[in-house]
Amino acid sequence: MSRISLFNDGIKVALPARYPQPSGTQVSLADGIAALQRIKAFMSPRQSNAVSELMHGEEGGFFIAKMIELDRRITDMPVTYEQNEVSDPIAYLHYFMGGSDWYITEKDMEGKGTEQAFGFACLNGDMMNAEYGFISIDELASLIIRGFMTIDLDFHFDPTPMSVIKAHLGDRYGR
């Protein structure tokens, strides 16, 4: 069991070993660190710092593999306007904080891909005002609310059609 400080506040949190590296996979810490460096613009600094520390701990195999998976997903995901003609676009990334969710269907076609992505936002469970639009991942990743809360990239989200996501949100918050 390792103990790390997640928020640079000196409070150490115990992390049990739940996610050993799957047998038969050959990924190295260097591969995970390289992947994290390529995608860190898609995360808050606190989240990327925590992941960097966690890759060195007992659960390192999980975080190394996850960063490599996310790096591939972000590299291969569509850029803005590529899903315009798709009737049921796929969300590739999910960001969350409290009852607010942002689903990214396309990364920006220019720069790091984070300046002007496109997706669906549902703030505070308000399905009546949830909408598609341009989303700045840079702004999402840089927000710190009340001095400690950040909007985080969901590591357990798999690419999902928006129809499935909207049905789930509708069931959760009411249509």
Q: What's the per-residue H, E or C state across the chain? A: CEEECCCCCCCCEEECCCCCCCCCCCCCHHHHHHHHHHHHHHCCHHHHHHHHHHCCCCCHHHHHHHHHHHHHHHHHCCECCCCCCCCCCEECEEEEECCEEEEEEEECCCCCCCCCEEEEEECCCCCCCCEEEEECHHHHHHCEECCCEECEECCCCCCEEHHHHHHHHHHHHCC
Q: What is the pLDDT of residue 27?
A: 75
Q: Is the pLDDT of residue 74 over 50?
A: yes
Residue type at position 58: E
> Rounded to whole angstroms, how far apart are CA atoms 43 and 99?
18
The model's confidence at residue 16, banded by pLDDT at 50, 70 and 90, is very low
Q: What is the pLDDT of residue 140?
A: 94
Residues of the chain above pLDDT 70, percent: 85
Q: Name residues whose C-beta falls within 8 Å of residue 87's C-beta, 6 or more positions apart in sequence.
A: none
- 171 CB neighbour count, 10 Å cutoff: 9
Residues of the chain above pLDDT 90, percent: 70
Q: What is the pLDDT of residue 20?
A: 46
Q: What is the pLDDT of residue 21?
A: 45
Q: Is the pLDDT of residue 17 over 70?
A: no
pTM of the complete model: 0.82
The model's confidence at residue 10, banded by pLDDT at 50, 70 and 90, is low
Average pLDDT across the chain, whole number: 87
Q: What is the pLDDT of residue 172?
A: 86
Q: What is the pLDDT of residue 24?
A: 54
Calculate mean pLDDT across residues 41-69: 94
